[in-house]
């Protein structure tokens, strides 16, 4: 069975850990529990006629406390950029992450997840924000770790893309 | 206990496992545990002493860390690599927090594995709290900003609508935000309870100093440009440390908004303050987070000052230079006012990102607040072209942005100050970059300007002139002079252009070129323009009554034209002075027309319906297009003096002048040549059938008495 490392990158409190828990364990907690450093989870998925072990790296949200390490992305086959649809500033952090990945000369498949789509009336990301990213070639999926909307789809999509690339 | 046992007990007590790498060059090397396995290792399979161990299989996280570890193991300078913390799920399903250190000891490649789980809760709690506070602060500040701006807009509107101060006072009395409404001199009109609570004052008269002045002084420490912004009647907002009457310190977020009356005269300042001390002082960790702006996610003003000071210290130590680029978006308030604050925030965020992409790694960009950004460039070589960078910034700002179905093209005014040439400390460097930006804005926006020492002097001169200009209106220091326009053919009218002059009681005569742009900027042009119109019409009717068939041309500014009631004002003046409309001509510059063509064309049509004639002034000085002439309801076209000056030597000017005259005539528009100064010009213009000429060759602008003498002489000559 092949193994693939994927990373979840984004600002703090955008829901990276919740997305993984929803995907791996099918559970969700309303309580915010910050991640320090990295936590690795595993899940075997069946994609394109083969079993793939996903090594899912949940990486600490980017802020003043966090330290970025090149090792985080080493060996990664793809990554998710995660933003919070209620916090436009988290898009800027996602862009910073994207720049960091590029600076490491890594050309990896990635998908932007606009999380917390269940908070319908609190969405502050404008369509223009997303349109700008789409024109840059970014694939965008709206997700909710709380309801599970599009979470499996997002992981399946990234897995497909990284298998296609390999 | 021997030292070996002592050491092993210590390592165990500290939850440390020591490994030696047996084959550092292997892709997935084996490790040997060197000490007694600490208790935590039992919850992971296969960790035992004296057995080769594929550690990266037990802890996959370490595989990615190996390249850094190998560097340390082969390094000769005692370097060590840190893996950072990671969480591993043990065989019993519990989380274990681990960290690895790679180093070389006595030539051996060592990996130290620390289990941090025991004390991790404390660390986690700290991070958790700090991030929760940061999140809450972020939300609060977003809400606060929007609430503050809404209140500001509502109060400004109520004041503009001349609502009773008592009603306004009642509406804000119990508002949670501190509200101060004061006159331009700082005199308090309204002060609510929240403000009294913050500053521990009982009533306005209890304050020894104008609160506005006090705020300006306090804010100036981190916003040196605040005086300039507020003095020029612009909106300002920011955060700074303020002290109340008893010396108690608080962080306040303050917005100062000018209120202008219909004639664009400053009547009040609306100041709204919120105590944000709690947000600022929550914890040392938040202090760090407080270095970033929430809208653009760029370093904020506070961070900027620290960085600027650091860069200047470094510059002083290493004798290197740096450039400070101050970027101010032009007309940002219009976006905020017309599309709302969300759109404004989106615009700032987009431009912030673009600017950040303009600079190279190691340079620094900050969002200072509102529509201001600053860039610090370290200049390791003296020949770096800063202007190229300024142009790059301009082009990043001016790319179009789509917001809510509107496509905007912004411009920025940019000021540049260089260390050490333009200032050796952060405050003076910043002030000079701001002044340079201010000059760039005066040059017509979308421009950049490098600081020069005379800017300080010019700025003070300009501020003084602005104050004096207000007095000039009140004390009637203006007078009109009149310049005749000579007909090159047959015309039974005597044509005059009214020109304003300012006789300053101390400085003598001040050229319109100096004071009109200031009056345009601060709105005084409306009062001045009306005064000119009334006086010119009065003189015209006097001359008419004396039997001179005069047409009086009066210049009208862009701001006057944009007044909603301009047509009614003209009508009122004509009625008041009894001047028949056909004896008045209004001169409007082509730039005014081009700015809002549809609106201006409609207005010009209405004015012509009154019987007033229209001339298009300075034709050729801007982005003239002959094709739009046919759509303009104008009677006369005044060729800009720049073309006439070059006649007849310059072939291009000759060609343009000829074409304009021919086209104008085809459109039944008469042409007036300005700035005619010699006979060669007259000959050329006469040959080309230019209808009228105006210039020093014929007459200088002169007092009405002299005009009367000239007209009398002309009449006398005609009668003979």
Nearest CA in chain A to B351: A92
Cβ–Cβ contact A95 with B under 8 A:
yes
Cβ contacts of B289 on chain A, cutoff 8 Å? 63-64
Cβ contacts of A55 on chain B, cutoff 8 Å? 60
* pLDDT per residue as tens digits for the range B689-698: 999 999 998 8
**pLDDT in the model for residue B521:** 76
Q: Which of B152-161, B399-408, B546-555, B617-626 has the lowest mean pLDDT?
A: B617-626
Q: Which of A55-64, A89-98, B284-293 has the lowest mean pLDDT?
A: B284-293
What is the average per-residue pLDDT within A116-144?
89
> Is there a cis peptide before residue A21, judged by omega within 30 degrees of 0?
no
Check whether residue B164 and residue B194 sit in a common domain: yes
Contact call for B350 and A132, based on CB within 8 A: yes
pLDDT over threshold 70, residue B512: yes
Cβ–Cβ contact A127 with B under 8 A:
no
Check whether residue B63 and residue B190 sit in a common domain: no
Q: Give chain B's end-to-end CA distance (angstroms, integer).
A: 137
Check whether residue B446 and residue B467 sit in a common domain: no
Cβ contacts of B342 on chain A, cutoff 8 Å? 124, 126
Contact call for B83 and A12, based on CB within 8 A: no
Check whether residue B448 and residue B472 sit in a common domain: no
User: Which helix (H) or strand (E) covers residue B310, if one does?
Assistant: helix B301-318
Query: Model confidence at A22, in pLDDT bands (50, 70, 90)?
Result: very high
Q: Parallel, antiparallel, or unpaired: how do β-strands B364-369 and B406-408 relate? A: unpaired
Domain-located, residue B126: no
Nearest chain B CA: its distance from A96 CA (Å) = 10
Check whether residue B617 and residue B704 sit in a common domain: yes
Burial of B35: CB neighbours in 10 Å, binned 0-12, 13-18, 19+ = middle
Cβ contacts of A128 on chain B, cutoff 8 Å? 346, 402-404
B contact test, residue of A12, A17, A20, A36 with most B CBs within 10 A: A36
Domain-located, residue B285: no
Two structure tokens written together for B33: 């545990």
For B89, the domain range is 3-118
Cβ contacts of A41 on chain B, cutoff 8 Å? 89
Domain-located, residue B559: yes
Phi, psi of B297 (to 5 degrees): 65, 15
Nearest chain B CA: its distance from A157 CA (Å) = 24
Check whether residue B273 and residue B297 sit in a common domain: no
Q: Which of B341, B350, B365 lies closest to B237 in space, CA to CA? A: B341
Please count the other Cβ atoms lying within 10 Å of the Cβ belonging to residue B202.
9
CATH of the domain at B162: 3.30.450.20
Cβ–Cβ contact A69 with B under 8 A:
yes
Choose the final residue of a domain: B401, B420, B452.
B452
Cβ contacts of A89 on chain B, cutoff 8 Å? 138, 294-297, 349
Nearest chain B CA: its distance from A33 CA (Å) = 7
Q: pTM for the whole thing? A: 0.48
Given the structure tokens 């060609």, which residue do they identify? Answer: B655
Cβ contacts of B97 on chain A, cutoff 8 Å? 36-37
**pLDDT in the model for residue B708:** 92
Contact call for B87 and A39, based on CB within 8 A: yes
Question: Would you give the distance in Å from CA B58 to the centre of its chain?
Answer: 57
Of B67, B131, B346, the CB nearest to A126: B346
pLDDT over threshold 80, residue B391: yes
Cβ contacts of B350 on chain A, cutoff 8 Å? 132
Query: Model confidence at B491, in pLDDT bands (50, 70, 90)?
Result: confident
Domain-located, residue B190: yes
Check whether residue B9 and residue B150 sit in a common domain: no
Contact call for B135 and A72, based on CB within 8 A: no
Check whether residue B248 and residue B141 sit in a common domain: yes
Q: Parallel, antiparallel, or unpaired: how do β-strands B412-419 and B448-450 relate? A: parallel
Of A12, A70, A128, the CB nearest to B346: A128
Q: Which of B695, B693, B687, B612 lies closest to B654 in space, CA to CA? A: B687
What is the average per-residue pLDDT within B595-616?
88
What is the average per-residue pLDDT within A91-96?
90
* pLDDT per residue as tens digits for the range B84-117: 999 988 888 889 999 999 998 888 999 999 998 8
Domain-located, residue B287: no
Choose the final residue of a domain: B419, B452, B485.
B452
**pLDDT in the model for residue B206:** 54
Q: Which of A81-85, B453-457, B502-506, B515-519 has the lowest mean pLDDT?
A: B453-457
Contact call for A128 and B289, based on CB within 8 A: no
DSSP output for B244-274: -TT--EEEEEEEEEEEE-TT--EEEEEEEEE
Check whether residue B232 and residue B326 sit in a common domain: no
CATH of the domain at B89: 3.30.450
Of B67, B296, B403, the CB nearest to A74: B67
Check whether residue B405 and residue B370 sit in a common domain: yes
* Percent of chain B residues topping a pLDDT of 70: 94
Choose the final residue of a domain: B434, B452, B470.
B452
What is residue B98's three-state secondary structure?
A: strand
Instruction: Select the more confidently predicted residue: B125 or B386.
Output: B386
* pLDDT per residue as tens digits for the range B608-652: 999 999 999 888 765 556 667 777 899 999 988 888 888 888 888
Contact call for B60 and A40, based on CB within 8 A: yes
Phi, psi of B619 (to 5 degrees): -65, 130
Contact call for A71 and B346, based on CB within 8 A: no
Domain-located, residue B128: no
CATH of the domain at B506: 3.20.20.450
Q: How many domains does chain B have?
A: 4
Query: Model confidence at B590, in pLDDT bands (50, 70, 90)?
Result: confident
pLDDT over threshold 90, residue B58: no
* pLDDT per residue as tens digits for the range B169-188: 998 888 888 999 998 888 88
Cβ contacts of A122 on chain B, cutoff 8 Å? none
Check whether residue B564 and residue B693 sit in a common domain: yes
Please report, for residues B6, B19, B35, B348, B502, the alpha-carbon distance to residue B3 in angstroms, rounded to integers and kept in the order given: 5, 19, 13, 64, 96
Please count the other Cβ atoms lying within 10 Å of the Cβ belonging to residue B470.
16
Provide the b/e sequence for B454-464 (b: ≥16 CB within 10 Å).
ebeeebeebee
- Angle between helix axes B341-358 and A89-103 (nearest 10 degrees) is 20
Of A40, A87, A129, the CB nearest to B346: A129
DSSP output for B47-73: --TTS-B-HHHH-THHHHHHHHHHHHH
Check whether residue B303 and residue B371 sit in a common domain: yes
Cβ–Cβ contact A43 with B under 8 A:
no
Cβ–Cβ contact A162 with B under 8 A:
no
Domain-located, residue B377: yes
Domain-located, residue B718: no
Distance CA B335, CA B408 (A): 9
A contact test, residue of B56, B126, B131, B344 with most A CBs within 10 A: B131
Distance CA B485, CA B495 (A): 5
Task: Tell me how many degrees the CA angle B5-B10-B14 measures, rounded to the nearest 5.
Answer: 150
């Amino acid at each position: 069975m092949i193994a693939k490392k994927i990373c979840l990158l984004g600002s703090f409190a955008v829901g990276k850990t919740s997305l993984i828990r929803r995907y791996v364990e099918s559970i969700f907690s309303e309580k915010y529990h910050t991640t320090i450093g990295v936590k690795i989870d595993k899940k075997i998925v069946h994609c394109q006629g083969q079993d793939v072990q996903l090594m899912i790296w949940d990486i600490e949200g980017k802020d003043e406390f966090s330290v970025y390490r090149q090792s985080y992305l080493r060996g990664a086959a793809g990554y998710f950029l995660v933003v919070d649809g209620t916090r436009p500033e988290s898009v800027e952090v996602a862009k910073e992450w994207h720049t960091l990945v590029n600076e490491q000369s890594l050309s990896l498949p990635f998908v932007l997840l606009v999380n917390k789509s269940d908070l319908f009336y609190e969405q502050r990301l404008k369509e223009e924000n997303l349109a700008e990213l789409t024109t840059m070639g970014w694939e965008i999926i709206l997700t909710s770790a709380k309801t599970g909307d599009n979470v499996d789809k997002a992981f399946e999509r990234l897995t497909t893309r990284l298998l296609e690339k390999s | 206990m021997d030292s070996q046992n002592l050491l092993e007990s210590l390592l165990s007590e500290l939850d440390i496992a020591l490994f030696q790498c047996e084959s550092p060059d292997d892709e997935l090397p084996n490790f040997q545990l060197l000490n007694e396995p600490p208790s935590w290792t039992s919850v992971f399979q296969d960790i035992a002493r004296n057995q080769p161990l594929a550690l990266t299989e037990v802890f996959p996280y370490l595989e990615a860390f190996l390249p850094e570890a190998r560097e340390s193991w082969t390094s000769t300078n005692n370097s060590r690599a840190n893996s950072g913390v990671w969480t591993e799920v043990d065989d019993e399903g519990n989380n274990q927090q681990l960290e690895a250190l790679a180093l070389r000891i006595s030539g051996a490649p060592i990996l130290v594995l620390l289990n941090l789980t025991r004390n991790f809760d404390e660390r986690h709690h700290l991070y958790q709290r700090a991030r929760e506070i940061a999140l809450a602060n972020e939300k609060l500040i977003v809400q606060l900003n929007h609430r503050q701006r809404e209140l500001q807009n509502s109060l400004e509107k109520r004041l503009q609508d001349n609502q009773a101060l008592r009603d306004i006072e009642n509406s804000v009395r119990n508002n949670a935000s501190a509200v101060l409404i004061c006159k331009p001199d700082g005199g308090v009109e309204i002060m609510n309870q929240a403000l009294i609570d913050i500053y521990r004052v009982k009533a306005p008269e209890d304050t020894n100093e104008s609160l506005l002045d006090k705020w300006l002084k306090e804010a100036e420490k981190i916003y040196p440009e605040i005086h300039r912004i507020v003095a020029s009647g612009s909106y300002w907002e920011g955060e700074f440390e303020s002290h109340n009457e008893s010396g108690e310190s608080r962080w306040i977020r303050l917005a100062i908004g000018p209120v202008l009356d219909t004639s664009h005269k400053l009547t009040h300042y609306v100041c709204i303050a919120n105590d944000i001390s709690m947000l600022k002082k929550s914890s040392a960790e938040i202090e760090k987070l407080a270095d970033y702006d929430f809208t653009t996610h760029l370093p904020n003003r506070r961070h900027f000052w620290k960085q600027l000071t650091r860069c200047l210290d470094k510059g002083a130590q290493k004798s290197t230079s740096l450039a400070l680029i101050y970027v101010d978006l032009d007309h940002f308030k219009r976006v905020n006012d017309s599309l709302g604050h969300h759109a404004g925030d989106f615009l700032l965020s987009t431009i912030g990102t673009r600017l950040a992409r303009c600079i190279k790694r190691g340079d620094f960009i900050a969002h200072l607040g509102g529509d201001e950004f600053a860039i610090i460039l370290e200049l390791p070589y003296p020949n770096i072209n800063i202007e190229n960078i300024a142009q790059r910034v301009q082009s990043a700002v001016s790319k179009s942005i789509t917001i809510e179905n509107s496509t905007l093209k912004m411009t920025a005014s940019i000021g540049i100050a260089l260390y050490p040439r333009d200032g050796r400390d952060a405050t003076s460097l910043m002030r000079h970059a701001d002044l340079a930006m201010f000059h760039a804005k005066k040059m017509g926006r979308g421009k950049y300007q490098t600081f020069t020492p005379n800017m300080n002097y010019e700025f003070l001169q300009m501020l003084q002139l602005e104050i004096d200009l207000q007095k000039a209106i009140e004390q009637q220091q203006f007078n009109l002079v009149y310049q005749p326009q000579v007909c090159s053919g047959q015309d039974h009218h005597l044509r005059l252009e009214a020109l304003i002059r300012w006789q300053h009681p101390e400085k003598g005569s001040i050229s319109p070129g100096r004071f009109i742009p200031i009056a345009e900027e601060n709105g005084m042009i409306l009062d001045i323009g009306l005064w000119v119109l009334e006086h010119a019409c009065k003189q015209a009717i006097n001359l008419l009554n004396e039997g001179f068939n005069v047409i009086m041309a009066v210049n009208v500014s862009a701001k006057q034209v944009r007044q909603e009631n301009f047509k009614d004002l003209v009508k009122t003046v004509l009625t008041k002075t009894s001047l028949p409309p056909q004896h008045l001509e209004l001169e409007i510059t082509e730039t005014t027309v081009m700015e809002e063509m549809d609106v201006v064309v409609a207005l010009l049509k209405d004015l012509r319906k009154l019987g007033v004639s229209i001339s298009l002034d300075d034709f050729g000085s801007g982005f003239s297009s002959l094709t739009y002439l046919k759509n303009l309801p104008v009677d006369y076209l005044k060729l800009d003096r720049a073309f006439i000056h070059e006649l007849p030597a310059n072939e291009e000017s000759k060609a343009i002048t000829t074409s304009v005259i021919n086209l104008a005539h085809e459109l039944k528009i008469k042409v007036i040549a300005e700035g005619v100064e010699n006979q060669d010009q007259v000959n050329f213009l006469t040959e080309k059938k230019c209808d009228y000429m105006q210039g020093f060759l014929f007459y200088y602008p002169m007092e009405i008495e002299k005009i009367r003498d000239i007209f009398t002489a002309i009449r006398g000559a005609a009668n003979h």
